[in-house]
Chains A and B, each alone.
Chain A
């Protein structure tokens, strides 16, 4: 695709920055805080330049204490602000698990509906950058287990650009998981791109032979696999979940009803994962549509390795997707 008058060439990182900038411009209650978001410009350079534009009141560097600054974000949200809290990686968010799970997710319920917590917590997730086991995991599936929060996984430029505003509009806590491998993804985005819905999964590629269900960092690999499969005569449908909680079961089940075969691609570990939840929902809701058992492609159940070849081998790969689907659909005779 080439740039036209109506589109701009942009990276995922830049799209995210524009989203934050737009939120800061549109709503004076919005502010960004986190480790190194100000002077350093964000450890993935998402907030580069924002300190200069909006000042230290609204772009706040915090001490290295996830529990403290996520708690401060929750407090600010209760006090009427619209904070965007950035956590460097999902691994570090575990230090703030008590704030997220015990406070943000429960206060509306425990206050008898008196206090909403309109906080947005952004964090990086996933492997692929040789950052080793303490910076590379995909724990978004864990958060999708918790009632009281929403869990988003923008996988496209549109969603990187548009999900944040909708999340800020939401009266309840929203977690946004940005896969670290996506920041450099570049493509065309409508010049007037803006807020997008966060309620529905999206069919990124329609097909008839198999439903490939994925989200976040594995969407690109899945679409690439779908292209390869198309060359082999297999017509794969690709569903981008976009939101892991609440799951859009309807779109999933509709797709399975069209194709009767499903492969779930999830960079999280298989056991007790979001892929397990999706598989269970398909069994519950589309059992009589299934022509083969649901298959899952997940990460190796080991801490993410540091060595590049091992790291690549540990996470879902295009070739694995192609092989799995070929084995499944090839059987149709």
Chain B
């Protein structure tokens, strides 16, 4: 079970897309895993033949558990092994104790399973009312003690549902996740696109949302607790970049036009080449530079929450390739279908809240990464240049960086590099 995020502890196999005997190649999607955040396609990193599948469909196992065995070329065919998955939360096997003479002992402490905190708070009466009135509890806002859902909330929700019938489908679990059931877009595989068959979601939307909120809370609290952030900001004159982009887009079909975000992503990736301390992970008390430049893109979800999957090797890709990747990523994030490598291995994150009108972003680093670049809105501002004042489109670029991995001076150079790169958009 791959770690599909710094905060992931376990995952559930939703679907196996291969069976024993199938040949697999590095990069193939072999399984679909459900985590607290999303449904994720697991890619294989070995080329060989699936010997046997260890963890069955529907099982939830901790990260690091062997999911399947792959026989690589040249390896002998082995008899099916006896590897058994370790189920989540099962207590470790207790070795049989040698019989001891009876004596008075302290009663042993029982193994207590952890409490799951994200259960919906619904009063028993409200629960009954929800069943009677066919109200989806996940859509109801509680007004009872500590936000619990009480009967009056259910009645209110039922009344509202009657008032606006088409907006709320009668069936509770259907809406958002049904979208996730659509086949995943093409996976770059040698045999051509492999379609993921439709599947039933294992986690209800409300639970997923609560779980995501919990995961974000854990990661962000961890970040603020552990990472000594420093923050820098710089105004960047975007006139050249915007002018170039406008001219470029005029030459293109509507479907092939570029978003300015692509310029920002590419500029960040190229700047990272110059200042590598911004790219990589802080783990085990040391900075480990990223082997490649995978830029995480913060994408907010319509139902709340956000996810920051990576676009791989941004520095090596053309603007068009990045645009294709970005479009695909946004679509799949919103549909809830991501690939394991996208989730796990961003080496730096970019967040752009400019569309919401903010001027600057003071970001929180997504651990174990060491830097997060934020862009505010691009707005026309008075801008002095060569002793003249003119109106130019300007954006505030901000950097939140891990002071353990880099210092303010390097951070400043990094922002300066982004600025410089954006002044020559044609070279991006």
Residues on A lying within 8 angstroms of B by beta carbon are 260, 287-293, 327-328, 331-333
Q: Which A residues are in CB contact (< 8 Å) with B127?
A: 288
Is A328's CB under 8 angstroms from B145's CB?
yes
Chain B residues with a Cβ closer than 8 Å to the other chain, count: 15
Return chain A residues, CB-CB under 8 Å to B126. Answer: 291
CA distance A290 to B123 in the complex (A): 6
**Are A333 and B125 in contact, with the CB atoms below 8 A?**
no
Q: Which residues of B contact A287 (CB under 8 A)?
A: 124
- Given A291-B152, A333-B143, output 18 extra A-B contacts at Cβ < 8 Å: A260-B125, A288-B124, A288-B125, A288-B128, A289-B124, A289-B125, A290-B123, A291-B125, A291-B126, A291-B144, A291-B150, A292-B148, A328-B145, A331-B143, A331-B144, A332-B152, A333-B152, A333-B153
Chain B neighbourhood of A327, CB < 8 A:
145
Q: Does B151 contact A (CB under 8 A)?
A: yes
Q: Verify A332–B150 contact, CB threshold 8 A.
A: yes
Q: Which residues of A contact B128 (CB under 8 A)?
A: 288
Flag B150-162 by CB within 8 Å of A: 1 or 0 each. 1111001000000
14 contacts between A and B (CB under 8 A): A260-B125, A260-B151, A287-B124, A288-B128, A289-B124, A291-B123, A291-B124, A291-B126, A291-B144, A291-B151, A292-B144, A328-B145, A332-B150, A333-B156
Closest Cβ–Cβ distance, residue A267 to chain B (whole Å): 25
Main secondary structure of the interface of B (DSSP, over half): helix
Residues of chain B within 8 A of A293, CB atoms compared: 145
- For A260, the chain B residues whose CB sits under 8 A away are 125, 151
Report yes or no: A290 in contact with B156, Cβ–Cβ below 8 A: no
Residues of B participating in the A interface, judged by any CB pair closer than 8 Å = 123-128, 143-145, 148, 150-153, 156
**Residues from chain A with Cβ under 8 Å of B153 in the complex:** 333
A333: which B residues are within 8 A, CB to CB? 143, 152-153, 156
Is A292 within 8 A of B145, CB to CB?
yes
A116 CB → nearest B CB, Å: 42
Cα A288 to Cα B127 with chains together (Å)? 8
Residues in A with CB closer than 8 Å to B124 are 287-291
Give the complex CA separation of A289 and B151 in angstroms.
Answer: 10
Q: Give the distance in Å from the alpha carbon of A328 to the alpha carbon of B148 in the complex.
A: 12
Q: How many Å lie between the Cα of A287 and that of B122 in the bound state?
A: 12
| A333 CA / B150 CA spacing, docked (Å) | 10
Chain A nearest Cβ from B310, distance in angstroms:
44
Cα A289 to Cα B125 in complex, Å, equals 5
Least CB distance from B178 to A in Å reads 31
Top-8 shortest CB links A-B:
A291-B125, A333-B143, A291-B123, A288-B124, A291-B150, A332-B152, A291-B151, A331-B144
Residue numbers in B under 8 Å from A328 (CB-CB): 145
Decide if A331 touches B150 in the complex (CB within 8 Å).
yes
Distance between Cα atoms of A331 and B150 in the complex (Å): 9
Interface centre among B124, B143, B152, by most A CB within 10 Å? Answer: B124
User: When the two chains form their complex, are residues B145 and A331 in contact, meaning their CB atoms are under 8 A apart?
Assistant: yes
**Which residue from chain A places its CB closest to the CB of B128 in the assembled complex?**
A288
Task: Output the nearest chain B residue to A327 by Cβ-Cβ distance.
Answer: B145
Please give, as numbers and ranges, the residues of chain B lying within 8 Å of A291 by CB-CB distance: 123-126, 144, 150-152
User: When chains A and B are docked, how far (Å) is the Cα of A332 from the Cα of B149?
Assistant: 10
Cβ contacts under 8 Å, A288 to chain B: 124-125, 127-128
Chain A, Cβ-Cβ closest to B150: A291
CA gap between A287 and B124 in the complex, in Å: 6
A313 smallest CB distance to B (angstroms): 25
Min Cβ gap A329→B in Å is 10
Closest to A260 in B: B125
> Across the interface, which residues of A come within 8 angstroms of B148, CB to CB?
292
Which partner residue on chain B sits nearest A295 by CB separation? Answer: B145
Inter-chain contact A292/B123, CB cutoff 8 Å? yes
CB-defined contacts of B150 to chain A, threshold 8 Å: 291-292, 331-332
Bound complex: CA A70 to CA B315 (Å) = 95
B144: chain A residues at CB < 8 Å are 291-292, 331
- In the assembly, what is the distance between CA of A289 and CA of B124, in Å? 6
Complex: chain B residue closest to A286, CB-CB: B124
Q: For A331, what are the chain B residues with a Cβ–Cβ distance below 8 Å?
A: 143-145, 150
List residues of chain B with CB within 8 A of the CB of A292: 123, 144-145, 148, 150
Which A residue's beta carbon lies closest to that of B142? A331
Give every chain B residue within 8 A of A332 (Cβ-Cβ): 143, 150, 152
Per the bound structure, the CA–CA distance linking A288 and B123 in Å amounts to 8
Give Cα distance in the complex from A260 to B126, angstroms.
10
- CA A287 – CA B151 in complex, angstroms? 14
* Cα distance, A303 to B151, chains bound together (Å): 40
Expressed in whole angstroms, the Cα–Cα distance for A288 and B145 within the complex equals: 17
Instruction: Return chain A residues, CB-CB under 8 Å to B145.
Output: 292-293, 327-328, 331
Cα separation A333 to B159 with both chains bound (whole Å): 14
Chain A positions within 8 Å of B156 at CB level? 333
Most chain B CB within a 10 A radius of its CB, from A287, A288, A291: A291
Closest to A328 in B: B145
Which residue of chain B is the closest to A257 with respect to CB atoms? B125
A328–B145 alpha-carbon span in the complex (Å):
7
Per the bound structure, the CA–CA distance linking A293 and B125 in Å amounts to 11
A332 to B145 alpha-carbon distance, docked (Å): 10
Chain B minimum-CB-distance residue to A288:
B124
Q: How far is the CB of A5 from chain B (nearest CB, A)?
A: 48
Q: How far is the CA of A288 from the CA of B132 in the complex (A)?
A: 13
Which residues from chain A contact B143 at a C-beta distance below 8 Å?
Answer: 331-333
- Least Cβ distance of B383 to chain A in Å? 52
Closest chain-B Cβ to A276's Cβ sits at a distance in Å of: 19
